[in-house]
Structure 1
């Protein structure tokens, strides 16, 4: 994923990320360099869940929501996926 990042902006809240306010024409969502967004194949690999399970869990509120990255693309914040995985019980 190749995103142009606006370095002038400070850390943004989740609501601001979804608002679409732009600081640069190539970065319409104003995504920050400090945030890593994962696409669906990577989220599936990390969690071991299928696409339909991920979206069903999002609907139920038990999985982090996705963020719109472009017209036809979404991603999940790596920090939120890591936090979700850390809350899961570990089988020892």
Structure 2
């Protein structure tokens, strides 16, 4: 979104999200390409935008959230309402 890379925690309070926030940095690997990143927890106003876009761009994530009972229909409005419940991170180049 806006040329930046974001990640959404799958469950409220998930270990992955807590560990990512605590670490503050990580490594993304795709094939032979390795990128070192800073993991930044975004503020709620950014999380709302990211979650709305997530509902439109990540159908597998929508199905996951529906099966987990986080949303009913998987609409952008429902996902926006998860801001503050699901962790949203921005991955910045390190």
Larger radius of gyration: 1
Answer whether TM exceeds 0.5 for this pair. Answer: no
Structure number having the greater strand percentage = 2
TM-score for both structures, normalised by structure 1: 0.28
TM-score for both structures, normalised by structure 2: 0.28
